[in-house]
Structure 1
Amino acid sequence: MSGHEPHAGRHAPRSCALIGPHGGGKTMLLEALMDMAGVKLRHAGDKSLPEPGTETRLFNCTYMGDDWSLLDCPGGIEFGAEAAAALCVADMAVVVAEPDPTRAPALRPALAALAAACVPFVLFINKADQLAVPAAELISAIQAETGTRLVARELPILEQGRMVGYVDLVSERAYRYRERLASAVVALPGDVAGEEHSAHDALVDTLADRDDALLEKVIGGEAVSAAELFARLRHDVGEGTLAEVMFGSGLHGNGVARLWKTLRHDAPDPSAAARRHGVAPEGGPLAQVFKVSYASQAGKLCYARIWRGTLRDGASDGVMRVGGIFAFPGPEAQKRAEAWAGELVALGRLEGAVAGTVFGAAQGRLGFPAPPPAVYALAITVPDHKDDVRLSTALGRLLEEDTALSLTRDPETGDTRLEGQGEAHLARAVERLRKGWGLNVTLAGPKLRLKETIRATVQEHARLKRQTGGHGQFADVKLEVAPRARGEGFLFIDRVTGGAVPRQYIPAVAAAAEEAMAKGPFGYPVVDVTVTLQDGGFHSVDSSDMAFKTATRTGIAEALAKAGTMLLEPVHKVRVSAPNTHTAAVQRLLSAKRGQILGYEAKPGWHGWDETLALVPEAELHRLILDLRAQTAGLGTFVHEFDHLAEAAAHLAERAAKPAGL
C-alpha cells in the first residue's frame, strides 16, 4: 500500500476477498492479481507466507492509483470461519469457480456466507481454458446455488473447443487472451456474432428490469449506450442484487486485467460496508479486528479494518492501546505510523482483543459472525506433565487465533477435549503447537460418557458399629433402592417414623445417598434412581453425621450390586445438511451408525439441499463428520444436541463395562 493518505479524486482503500471451494485456484488468481499490480509474491511454499488453504492471507497493493487489500480465504469447509471473518471486512468478493457444472454445489457454502454477510460479489470462472460445456449451462448450474441473479458479463470465444478469448457484452468488444498480459482487442469473430447479439440483448433486458428509464428505452426501440449499461451494472452489483460472471485463468494470467478493472469500477466504497455494520460516519477512529496471529518476532498481531478516521500508533481507547501498525504490501510487514479509513492493517499488542473486537468505541462486535459449533473432538494431553502449564498457555493463544476451536474439560471422563471443524482443522492446531511451542501432544478419541442405572428394586440394611476407645461410631439404616423412569434423575425420600433416625441425621443420609451415585459397580455415574430411607437406628452417644454417611454409602454400594446394573449411553438429536443428491447416502450412513431416522426436509433457503433429522448414539458421533464428508463430496455437516439416555449397545457394554479398578 502506498502509505499516503488518499487524496481528493482517489478512491478510499478498498478490500476484496477471494473465496470459493478448495481446488478452484484462488491462490493462483491472487498471485496473478498481485503480479499485475506490480507486487511479486514469493512462491506459495515459501515459509515466510502463511500456508494457503488453511488460513486467510492479507496482501495490500495499488492498482491504477487505487489502494487495495486482497484477502486469500481458505476454501476447505473446515476453515469456513476464517472466510466468514474476512467477508466481514470486505467491500466485495470474487467467488472463484471451476468450469465444471458438477462442481457447482461445492460453491454453496461460500455463496451462503456471502448472503449472510450481505457482501456483493463477482463470479470468476477460473481455468477457463478447460471449459468443456456451454457457458450458459455452467452459469445455470451455479445460479441454482445462489439467490443473487447471475448475469454473464462476457461471452467466451472458443477455438477447437478451447477458450481463447471473450466478448465484453457491455462494450461489445472482442478480446484475445495473451499469456500473463492484458488481453488484446480483436475483431468480433463472425461465428459468434449472432450469439453475442443475443447475449447482449439478454444482459440489457436483465438490467432494464431494474431500471424504469432503461426499460422505456428498450420498449421504445431506442439504443442503450454502454455508459448507461455500465452505470446500471455498477449500481446493481454494488447493491448485491446482481453478480457479474467473468472468465479467465489465474495460471495463465488470462482475464485478470479485466477482473481488476471490474473491481475498480464496481466495488463499492468502504463507506458502504461501514454503513452495513452500523458505523456512524462521525466520531473518532474505529477499527475492528477480524483475525489474530501470534508471530515469533512481532508477538501478537491483530488484523483489523479501519472503519473510520485515522488510527495512529500508540492510540488508546481507554481499554486497549495500539502497539504498532503494520501493512502487508507483500509477504513481509512494513511498519506504519498511522492508518486511514478503509485500510486493512495489523495492530500490535492489543491486549484482550480477539476476532470481532472493536477498537475505539463500545459498539459490540459490529455483526461479527459467531463461530460454528464444533463437530469433531479429540482428547489432548502432553506425555510429560511438566509441560501442562506450557500446554495451557499455548492452547489459550491458539483459541485467540482461531475462534472455531474450543477447549472443554469433561468432568465425567477427565478428558481435556480440543474441539473444532474436522480432522484437518485439529491437525493444523496440533502443528501450530509443535512448531510454535515445541509441544508434541498426544491425541486420542474422547472417552465414552456412559451412565449406569438399575433394573430392580432392592431392600438393603446397613449397620455401622465401631468401638475404638472413647466415643465409637454407630448408625443403622434400612434403605430401598428403586429404578426411576429414564431422565427423571435422582430422588431421595424420607419415610422414617417414630424418630428411629433423628431428624438431624436425615440430611447426612440424603447427601451420602446422592454422593454414592457418582460411581456404580462398573465405574460410571448412576442415574434415575430413588433411594428411600425406611427405618434405622441410632446411639445417643456414638451416632454422628459421619457415621450415617458411612453406613448409607455401604448400603447403597451393596444395593447397586444386587439391583442388576444396566449401562446407558447418551443419544443425540442430529440434523445433517447436505445436497439432496446425497440424501440417500446420508441416511444409509446414519443407519449404519445405529441412528434412527426421524425424517428429512428441504433446507430452508438452500435450494437443492436437504436436512435429515435422526437420533444417533453419542459413541457414533466421533467420526460422523469424517464419514459424512466422505459420502457428500466434502459438503455435508451437522449440528447435534443431547436428547436422552438409552440402554447401551451390547458391544459397548462388553468393551466398557469393566469393574472399577480392574
Structure 2
Amino acid sequence: MQDISRLRNVAIVGPHHAGKTTLVEALLAHCGAIPRRGSVRDGTTTTDCEPEAIDHLQSVCVGFAHANCVDVDLNLVDTPGFVDFFEETKTVLSAVDAAVVVIDAEPGRVAQTAALVEYLEMRAMPHLFFVNKLDRPGAQFDATLAALRSAYGAHVVATHLPIGSGETFSGYVDLACSKAFGSNGTVEEIPIPTALEGAAAAQRTTLLEALADFDDTLLEELLEGQTPTQDEIDRDLCEDCSHDQIVPVLVGSAEKGFGVWPLVDAIARLFPSPATEPRRDVDGRPVVPRDDGAVVAQVCKTIMHPQQGKLSVVRVFTGTLTPSSTIVDASRGNAPVRLSGMARLFGKKQEPVTSAGPGAIVALARLEGVGTGDTLASPNAGVLMPTVPLAEPSFAVAIAPKQRLDEAKLSQALARLLDEDPALRVARAEFTNELQLLGNGETHVTTATERLARKYNVDVTTHPPSIAYRETIQSPTEIHSRYKHQTGGHGQFADVHLRFEPRARGSGVTFAETIVGGVVPRQFFPAVEKGVREALASGGPHGFPVTDLHVTLFDGAFHDVDSSEASFKTASGMAVREALQKLGTVVLEPLMRVETTVPSTTMSAAVSQLTAKRGQILGFEPAEKTGWDRIIALVPQAELGRYATELRTATAGLGTYAARHERFEIAPERAVEAPA
C-alpha cells in the first residue's frame, strides 16, 4: 500500500505555450520516470500523446503521469492552457491537492492567469508560481514578479531570485535560507553574486514580512530586529503555503531542466499530502482518508480509447478500491457499477494495479453510464462529492455528416464525444433546426470535430450557424384567389378571400375566419389555414419565412362536387404569394441580448467592439468580481460568429459573454445574407 504521507497530487497549470508540458517532462526525467525528456515540437512528450495535441503543438486535453522521487511520490496532471479548454482544467483540479502555475518571465502574460488563479484561490487550493523560460532573451523576472504581486496581492512572494537572465541565467538565490545555487541541476552551493546582495536582502525581508502576517511571534521578532531561526522560517513557509496563505514564486527553465530539483523539493515540503486536509462532501462533512472502511471516489476525466473503450479516471478520497470492490454511482441513484479493470495512466500507457488507496488517481475500465463528476462509493456510504459547474458554451458550428448514411453513426459518436468532454454541447438551433456543436471557442470545437474523424471515423462538414432571418409585411391588403382545375373525373375548385394585416414583433402568424352564411364550409377552414401557414413558411420574396402577421378568411365560394381540402389549400397558398408580391416585405434579423463580462481596464475596448457590431448598448453594471464590469447590449446574431475569439483578443483572454435570443427587428439591406 502506498504511503499517503509521501504522495503529492499536483496539477501543472498556466497559460498556453508557457511550457507546462515541457516542465512535466523535466520533472519526470529528474525523478527517473523517463530516460530522457521528450519534445513538444517533435511530438514525443509523455502527456501530450493525443494526435490533436501533437498536430496543434499544444495540450488540448489533460494528461496524467507519475514519478517516485527520494522524498515524494508525484501524481502529475498536465492541463491545457488555452482558454478554450479552461472548463476541463477546472474539472480535473477536483482530483489534485495543489497546483504549479507556470508562467513566462513576461509581465504582459500575467493577465492570462487571472481566471485560473481566481479559481484556485476560490477553492483555497495551495499553489505556487514557476517563472519559466528565464534563459530566453528578454526575460523579465522583476517586472513579472511585480505584475504578479499587483494582480494577486502581497501574499505572492518570491522565494527564489534568479541569477542573471537570458544567456546569463546561471542559478538562483534561495531567499528562505539566503543561499545561492547553480542552474546545472545539482544542489551545489555557490556564492551569492555581490550585485544581487541588496536585491536578495530586500526580497528576503518581503518574504519574512509576508510570513509574519500569519505568525505573531515572527512579527515580534522582526519588530525587535531579531533574526528568526531557519527552522522557524521553514515551518512558517510550509504551514502558510499548504493553507494557501502564501504563494511562493520559483524560477527556472523547463526546457533546460534548470530549477527542477528545487521545484520538486518545494512540492514535497510546501504542498500538502492527501492526508493533511480531508475533502468535504456536498453537505460540508469531511471525508477522512482511511485505508479501511467505505470507498469514496470521484470521476475527474473520461477518456474514450479507440480500442479499449471507455476509461473513467477517478481520485480515491477514502477506502481502498480493488477490482472486486462493490461500488455504486451515488450521483445516479446508487446505480450498481461493475469494475472490470484498474490501471495507472502514464501518458498513453496503462499500468495495471490491483488496489488504489486514499489519494490514488487511477483509471477504471468500461464503466458504462458513469460520467465525469460522478461520485463512486461503497453502498450505503451516504457520501456525494461536489461537482464543478461548467460555463455555457459561447461558440457554435452547424454540423452534418459528409455521408448521409452516417447520420445514425454521427449521433452515437457525438454522445461519446460529450461523455469525454462535458464542456461540449449538441443542440438543435431554435429557429433553423440545424444540428449544432457548441464549445468554448473555435479551437475547442475544431479539435472536437478532428476527434470525431479520428476516433469514430465520422467525417463531418461544418459551417457557421445559419442566421434565422424572417420576413414580414408592413401594410394590410385583401386578396381574392380562385383555384379551378378540370380533369377527366372530378375537377378542383376553391375560392377564398383573405385579409392580411401586420402584427407586432414576436407575435408570429395567427389565423381566423369570419365566414357567414356558409360560403365556405367549416370542414375546409383547416385546409385554408394549412395552406396559408405552409406558404408563409416556404419564404417570401427574399426567401425567408414570413412572420408577424394576421390572416383572416372572410369570404369565398365552393362547389358541391369539385371542392376539396387540397383545392382550398392550393388556393390559399396562391393568395399568400400574391399578397407578398403585391405588398413587398422587409427582412427581420434576430437580435441577441448579450451580457459581456470584462476587466474594468478593458471596458472601453469591449464597448467599441460591440458598437462596431451594430450593438445597442443597454447599460452597464458591476460584475460579481471586483474590478470587473458587465456590458448589456442588443447585438444582431449575424455579428456574433467570431465574437468569442475577438473578445478574448481584446481582453487578453479574460472576457466572457452569454447570449440569448431577444427579438427580431428590421435588418439593414446590406446586412442580410441570401439563403442557401
Q: Name the TM-score, length of structure 2 as normaliser.
A: 0.86
Give CA-to-partner distance per residue, 1:314-366, whole Å, 9 cap, x none: 44324322221110246521111221121111110010222212222798983
1:572 is paired with a residue of what secondary structure?
A: strand
* Structure-2 residue corresponding to 1:195: 199
The alignment status of 1:241 with 2:245, answered yes or no, reads yes
* Structure-2 residue corresponding to 1:208: 212
Give CA-to-partner distance per residue, 1:598-649, whole Å, 9 cap, x none: 4556654264x55444332111211223444444555544322222212223
Distance 1:245 1:115 in 2: 16
The range that moved more, 386-395 or 460-469, is 460-469
Distance 1:484 1:574 in 2: 26
Distance 1:190 1:47 in 2: 40
Tell whether the 8 Å contact from 1:148 to 1:243 is kept in structure 2 after alignment: no
The range that moved more, 234-243 or 40-49, is 40-49
* Structure-1 residue corresponding to 2:589: 569
> Which of 57, 60, 64 pairs up with 1:58?
64
The alignment status of 1:531 with 2:551, answered yes or no, reads yes
* Structure-2 residue corresponding to 1:618: 637
Distance change (3 Å), C-alpha of 1:631 and 1:458: same
Distance 1:116 1:477 in 2: 68
Distance 1:630 1:386 in 2: 40
* Structure-2 residue corresponding to 1:433: 452
> Which of 153, 158, 163 pairs up with 1:157?
163
* Structure-1 residue corresponding to 2:9: 15
User: Structure 2 counterpart of 1:335, which letter?
Assistant: P
* Structure-2 residue corresponding to 1:352: 369
| Structure 2 unaligned regions, length at least 5 | 329-334
Distance 1:536 1:120 in 2: 80
Distance 1:628 1:29 in 2: 30
Tell whether the 8 Å contact from 2:13 to 2:101 is kept in structure 1 after alignment: yes
1:182 is paired with a residue of what secondary structure?
A: coil
Aligned length: 648
Distance change (3 Å), C-alpha of 1:134 and 1:153: same
User: Structure 2 counterpart of 1:24, which letter?
Assistant: A
The range that moved more, 376-385 or 623-632, is 623-632
Distance 1:300 1:536 in 2: 65
Percent identity, aligned pairs only, is 35
Query: Deviation at 1:163?
Result: 3.7
| Structure 1 unaligned regions, length at least 5 | none
Query: Deviation at 1:74?
Result: 0.9
1:200 is paired with a residue of what secondary structure?
A: helix
The alignment status of 1:110 with 2:116, answered yes or no, reads yes
Tell whether the 8 Å contact from 2:309 to 2:365 is kept in structure 1 after alignment: yes
* Structure-2 residue corresponding to 1:71: 77
Tell whether the 8 Å contact from 2:295 to 2:316 is kept in structure 1 after alignment: yes
Distance 1:413 1:577 in 2: 28
User: Structure 1 counterpart of 2:505, which letter?
Assistant: R
Distance 1:320 1:600 in 2: 49
* Structure-2 residue corresponding to 1:140: 146
* Structure-2 residue corresponding to 1:302: 312
Distance change (3 Å), C-alpha of 1:105 and 1:477: same
2:110 is paired with a residue of what secondary structure?
A: helix
Query: Deviation at 1:474?
Result: 6.6
Distance 1:579 1:196 in 2: 34
Give matches, 1:324-473, under 5 Å. Answer: 324-329=341-346, 331-360=348-377, 366-410=385-429, 412-462=431-481
2:389 is paired with a residue of what secondary structure?
A: coil
Distance 2:110 2:577 in 1: 61
Distance 1:273 1:245 in 2: 26
Query: Deviation at 1:246?
Result: 1.2
Distance 2:372 2:485 in 1: 63
Query: Deviation at 1:287?
Result: 1.7
Give CA-to-partner distance per residue, 1:543-572, whole Å, 9 cap, x none: 776665555444344333333221111121
Distance 1:388 1:188 in 2: 68
Tell whether the 8 Å contact from 1:520 to 1:557 is kept in structure 2 after alignment: no
Distance change (3 Å), C-alpha of 1:471 and 1:569: same
The range that moved more, 208-217 or 355-364, is 355-364
User: Structure 1 counterpart of 2:312, which letter?
Assistant: C
* Structure-2 residue corresponding to 1:6: 2
Query: Deviation at 1:371?
Result: 3.3
Distance change (3 Å), C-alpha of 1:603 and 1:364: farther
Distance 1:133 1:23 in 2: 15
Distance change (3 Å), C-alpha of 1:468 and 1:295: same
Distance 2:214 2:286 in 1: 29
1:145 is paired with a residue of what secondary structure?
A: helix
User: Structure 1 counterpart of 2:248, which letter?
Assistant: E
User: Structure 1 counterpart of 2:92, which letter?
Assistant: A
* Structure-1 residue corresponding to 2:100: 94
Query: Deviation at 1:434?
Result: 2.7
* Structure-2 residue corresponding to 1:255: 259
The range that moved more, 147-156 or 545-554, is 545-554
Query: Deviation at 1:93?
Result: 0.6
1:97 is paired with a residue of what secondary structure?
A: strand
1:389 is paired with a residue of what secondary structure?
A: helix
Tell whether the 8 Å contact from 1:313 to 1:337 is kept in structure 2 after alignment: yes
Query: Deviation at 1:657?
Result: 6.1
Distance 2:97 2:391 in 1: 23
Distance change (3 Å), C-alpha of 1:477 and 1:235: farther
Distance 1:444 1:89 in 2: 36
Distance 1:630 1:189 in 2: 41
2:390 is paired with a residue of what secondary structure?
A: coil
User: Structure 1 counterpart of 2:387, which letter?
Assistant: F
Tell whether the 8 Å contact from 2:281 to 2:287 is kept in structure 1 after alignment: no
2:279 is paired with a residue of what secondary structure?
A: helix
Tell whether the 8 Å contact from 2:11 to 2:77 is kept in structure 1 after alignment: yes
Query: Deviation at 1:510?
Result: 5.1
> Which of 602, 610, 613 pairs up with 1:590?
610
Distance 2:45 2:228 in 1: 52
Distance 1:127 1:602 in 2: 37
User: Structure 1 counterpart of 2:90, which letter?
Assistant: A
Query: Deviation at 1:68?
Result: 2.1
User: Structure 2 counterpart of 1:625, which letter?
Assistant: A
* Structure-1 residue corresponding to 2:174: 168
User: Structure 2 counterpart of 1:13, which letter?
Assistant: L
Query: Deviation at 1:459?
Result: 1.4
Distance change (3 Å), C-alpha of 1:253 and 1:242: same
> Which of 495, 503, 518 pairs up with 1:484?
503
Distance 2:552 2:150 in 1: 63
The range that moved more, 294-303 or 429-438, is 429-438
Distance 2:226 2:232 in 1: 12
Query: Deviation at 1:156?
Result: 3.0
Distance change (3 Å), C-alpha of 1:192 and 1:47: closer
Give CA-to-partner distance per residue, 1:362-386, whole Å, 9 cap, x none: 9898333333322322222333222
Give CA-to-partner distance per residue, 1:377-415, whole Å, 9 cap, x none: 222233322233333322222222122222223374453
